[in-house]
């Protein structure tokens, strides 16, 4: 009798796909992936996540094509792929046909050299900063409604100046303590809101599309986009049609946007 052959595989990358219009996980099977332009094939777990076996650990760009969504591309770093587990959360933006059937608000246009775009809802204040351990990169939250912070991308918001610092949660240490991927760079006081970030898509020829769920009466969002190594911010109230175009330069609109941010 021949000895049994044991074949071992390493989970090189685990992918969670998020529908930005609903906030729910995308579990459809007709999804295609390309790593630096080369097609790669995942396995689907019972929880809906996708697993790439023996995925190379070198930094790369991963492109996602899914029916009803715009193509999305993200950069994966050596550190992300070396994490345990190596998890990537990818937010998919509905295409025009899908958006026409689901209530969502849209910011779309063209911005020279745009690299990324995301947003947080201005009314999100259910989770607040209670404490921050800079050395351990642990954020302690006041979470009276026991919300599940089960995603990766969040933001610590400074509503006084309409700015936020994007964060990534890499570990939940307890019901209230969360370890961040990198230290906070800006000073935030206690009671600063912590909000979920919704990602948009950057398309060829400097085009961008951001779609957020239209599931609340307060339709104000704080949009952040990156271009030329700089972060730009703008408050957008989707109840006001003239507010959904990104404007420049930010210095000229800082006072106006701060007033909108504080106002109802």
- Structure confidence by residue, pLDDT tens digits, 130-184: 999 999 999 999 988 888 788 889 999 998 888 999 999 988 888 899 999 999 9
Query: Is 120 strand, coil or helix?
Result: strand
Contacts of 181 (CB under 8 A, 6+ apart): 137, 167, 168, 169, 170
User: From the centroid of its chain, how far is CA 32?
Assistant: 20
Angle at 55 between CA 54 and CA 59, to 5 degrees: 145
Going by pLDDT thresholds of 50, 70 and 90, the confidence category of residue 111 is very high
Contacts of 135 (CB under 8 A, 6+ apart): none
pLDDT of amino acid 253: 43
Q: Return the residue matching tokens 């911010």.
A: 233
- The domain made up of 11-101 is a member of CATH 2.60.40.1120: yes
Burial of 245 (0-12, 13-18, 19+ CB in 10 A): exposed
Neighbours of 219 (CB within 10 A): 19
Q: Which of 129, 125, 161, 169 is nearest to 250 (CA)?
A: 161
User: In the predicted model, what is the mean pLDDT of residues 47-67?
Assistant: 90
Query: Any idea where the domains of the chain sit in the sequence?
Result: 11-101, 104-262
Tell me the C-alpha distance between 85 and 80, whole Å.
9
Tell me the C-alpha distance between 10 and 160, whole Å.
46
| Position 247 pLDDT exceeds 90 | no
pLDDT of amino acid 45: 77
Tokens linked to 144:
């009276």
Q: Return the residue matching tokens 């898509």.
A: 201
pLDDT of amino acid 11: 62
């Amino acid at each position: 009798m021949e000895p049994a052959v044991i074949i071992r595989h390493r989970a090189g990358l685990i992918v969670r796909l998020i529908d930005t219009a609903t906030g729910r996980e995308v579990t459809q099977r007709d999804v295609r992936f390309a790593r630096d332009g080369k097609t790669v094939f995942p396995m689907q777990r019972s929880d809906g996540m996708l697993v790439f076996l023996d995925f190379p650990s070198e930094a790369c760009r991963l492109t996602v094509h899914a029916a009803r969504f715009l193509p999305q591309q993200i950069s994966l770093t050596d550190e992300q792929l070396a994490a345990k587990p190596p998890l990537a959360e990818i937010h998919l933006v509905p295409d025009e046909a899908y958006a026409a059937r689901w209530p969502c608000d849209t910011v779309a246009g063209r911005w020279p050299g745009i690299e990324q775009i995301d947003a947080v809802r201005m009314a999100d204040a259910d989770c607040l900063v209670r404490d921050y351990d800079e050395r351990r990169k642990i954020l302690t939250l006041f979470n009276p409604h026991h919300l599940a912070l089960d995603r990766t991308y969040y933001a610590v918001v400074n509503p006084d100046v309409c700015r936020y610092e994007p964060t990534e949660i890499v570990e939940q240490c307890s019901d209230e303590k969360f370890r961040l991927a990198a230290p906070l760079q800006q000073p935030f006081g206690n009671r600063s809101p912590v909000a979920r970030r919704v990602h948009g898509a950057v398309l060829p020829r400097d085009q961008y599309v951001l779609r957020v769920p239209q599931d609340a009466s307060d339709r104000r969002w704080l949009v952040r986009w990156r271009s030329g190594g700089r972060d730009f911010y703008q408050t957008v109230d989707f109840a006001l049609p003239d507010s959904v175009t990104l404007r420049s330069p930010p210095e000229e609109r800082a006072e106006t946007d701060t007033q909108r941010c504080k106002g109802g």
